[in-house]
Structure 1
Amino acid sequence: MDDMKLWFMEKEAVYSTLALFYRGSLSRGLKILRGTDLLEKLFKWENNLTVCRKAAIILGEINGNHLNPKYKEELLEDYQRLFIGPGHILAPMWESVYESKDRLIFGKSQLSVRKFYGEFGLGVSPKEPADHLAFELFFMARLCDVKMDDDLQNIVKALSAMEKFLKDHLCKWVPSWRDCVNSSAKTRFWIEFSNMTEGWIMDNLEEIKEIRRLVL
């Protein structure tokens, strides 16, 4: 049970940190990466070479730019250009954009995501698309916040929800979004960070499948 508790805590930490960056909280995100061993742990993530390699690159870049006063500004400018605009958004962070040729927000997927959130007592303002990448990653972090009171039912419920959300949502569209980032980003950070994000969610899905097989 202690191993399972640690597993959920580690996953929650990664999902929460990823979500911070995609929400645009770069100062807070960089502070976490510089002040914790999160990247070092991912660098040793033997289950997935993509996660290992990209974490190592990001760690090296962050450490190499520690005294660069313009580094955060460069990342923010690229964030704005890639994900916000103005004008044409190069790598939109809404799932709905990737489910049809029209590339519109507020599509079917955001309704499905909103319903999923509601089943766990969470909500997003009707004025905001619920299928933004930051929201989806924060939701995964929330699912990791499991009450570890020796109740196997809680663990199974959390794992089932995580597997379904990854299969039905994140793992479906993040690869296409990642391709957009890779082809349009000016900074190496966002290329490698998006690659690491994709590698993480794909690996997490396979991990959950294996754990559920062993637990059940």
Structure 2
Amino acid sequence: MTLLNTTIPRIIGACFYYPPYSNSFSQLTGALSELADLFPWPQPALIRQHAEQISQVDLALLDYDYSVLFEGQGEMPAPPWSSVYLEQDNLLMGESTQRYREFLLSNGVVTDTENPEPDDQFGLMLMAFAYLLESDKSQAAIELLSQYILPWAGRYLQLVSQYDSGQRFYPLLAQIADIYLQTLQQQLDLNEKPTDLYL
């Protein structure tokens, strides 16, 4: 198990991006039960417990949660785009999104998806992190993590973990993602960029 393997950000990123009814999502759900064995977690027993609870969730019932958390059905309790947290007016596609897009382009990353999703969607950002690692651009991956994900992800994941619909899939996944990011930050000795958050 290595700290900078790409399996964890690929799995978690995809689960925070793809809808539960998609083939991409269903292909990954089996891997969720293996999370504890795929990364040097500081608390593997806790990850194993969370993963076991996730595996007991009826995935057929997740469509509503996905719609609320990622598509904006009703009041969105945890918007998944960094600009909502980093821009004072909480709008999508602000200056922070443009800076991030320029960073991606400068490192040869193009987020070409079926959905017209802003580049700064949390799941997409984790998958971009994995892509940079796979492309032997570890310095760019670390920059993405420290400059573009860590400043707002803790707040976002906190909001997701507080979401309660009776299905615990996304709140538990958010707790796992938060532990993952905190572990990377500590083990890589990353200084989080001081940032004002507006949500």
TM-score scaled by structure 2?
0.78
CA distance in 2, matches of 1:178, 1:62: 16
**How many equivalent residue pairs?**
184
Q: Mark the structure with the bigger radius of gyration.
A: 1
Q: Deviations over 1:148-202 (max 9, x none)?
A: xxxxxxxxxx332222211111111111111221222322221110111121122
Q: 1:82, 1:185 within 8 Å by CA — same for their partners in 2?
A: no
Aligned residue number for residue 202 of structure 1: 182
CA distance in 1, matches of 2:105, 2:45: 34
Letter of the aligned partner of 2:160 in structure 1?
V
1:39 aligned to 35, 40, 53, which one? 35
- Report matched runs for 1:1-216 at 5 Å: 7=2, 11-26=5-20, 28-34=24-30, 38-42=34-38, 45-46=40-41, 48-49=42-43, 52-53=45-46, 55-65=47-57, 71-124=58-111, 128-147=117-136, 158-186=137-165, 187-209=167-189
Bigger Cα displacement from structure 2, 80-89 vs 137-146: 80-89
Distance 1:76 1:58, change over 3 A: farther
In structure 2, runs of 5+ residues without a counterpart are 191-199
CA distance in 1, matches of 2:173, 2:122: 13
Distance 1:62 1:179, change over 3 A: closer
Distance 1:198 1:206, change over 3 A: same
CA distance in 2, matches of 1:172, 1:52: 27
Cα RMSD for the two superposed structures: 2.7
TM-score scaled by structure 1?
0.73
The alpha carbon displacement at 1:33 in A equals 4.1
Q: Deviations over 1:115-172 (max 9, x none)?
A: 11111212246x642111122111101011145xxxxxxxxxx332222211111111
User: What SS is found at the alignment partner of 1:11?
Assistant: coil
CA distance in 2, matches of 1:11, 1:109: 27
Larger helix fraction of residues: 1
CA distance in 2, matches of 1:178, 1:82: 11
Q: 2:9, 2:126 within 8 Å by CA — same for their partners in 1?
A: yes
Letter of the aligned partner of 1:138 in structure 2?
M
Bigger Cα displacement from structure 2, 177-186 vs 95-104: 177-186
Report sequence identity in percent: 19
CA distance in 1, matches of 2:74, 2:56: 32
Q: 1:181, 1:190 within 8 Å by CA — same for their partners in 2?
A: yes
